[in-house]
């Protein structure tokens, strides 16, 4: 990860992931995803009952590019749990299918609601 203090976009990303247990940087919003990968990530988080904050990167070009630099990860969506970058939609899907996503959320102390 980069030095968040040198860039206001990175400072916003760092504050957002620090303030919320689960954050999904995505295209669109949780209620209206604007790409299939973001929609899939939202469906998985909803299915496991994880409360999360969705951040629409399409609202700001600097944010859309900045989040990729912040994690050195080229694609969106990007999932963070307790301030830690987990991965993109493929990793989230694979972790969900293997039962690892729920285990990670439980291990990190994220309260899961009813799906």
| pLDDT 10s digits, 7-64 | 899 999 999 999 999 999 999 999 999 999 999 999 999 999 999 999 999 999 999 9
Please check whether residue 96 is in contact with residue 48, taking contact to mean a CB–CB distance below 8 angstroms: yes
> Which of 112, 11, 29, 5 has its CA nearest to residue 67?
11
Domains of the chain: 4-107 (3.40.30.10)
pLDDT at 3: 52
Reading the block at residue 104, the tokens are 């990670």
Residue 2 has pLDDT above 90, yes or no: no
* Exposure b/e, 46-80, CB count within 10 A at least 16 = b: eebebebebbbbeeeeebbebbbebbeeeebbbbb
Rounded Cα gap, residues 38 and 32, in angstroms: 10
Average pLDDT over residues 85-110: 96
């Amino acid at each position: 990860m980069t030095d968040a203090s040198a860039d206001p976009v990175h400072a916003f990303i760092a504050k957002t992931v620090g303030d919320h247990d689960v954050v999904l940087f995505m295209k669109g919003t949780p209620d209206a995803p604007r790409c299939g990968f973001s929609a899939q990530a939202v469906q998985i988080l909803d299915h496991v009952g994880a409360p999360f904050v969705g951040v629409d990167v399409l609202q700001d070009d600097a944010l859309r590019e900045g989040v990729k630099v912040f994690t050195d990860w080229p694609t969106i969506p990007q999932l963070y749990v307790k301030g830690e970058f987990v991965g993109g939609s493929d990793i989230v899907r694979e972790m969900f299918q293997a039962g690892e996503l729920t285990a990670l959320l439980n291990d990190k102390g994220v309260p899961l609601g009813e799906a």
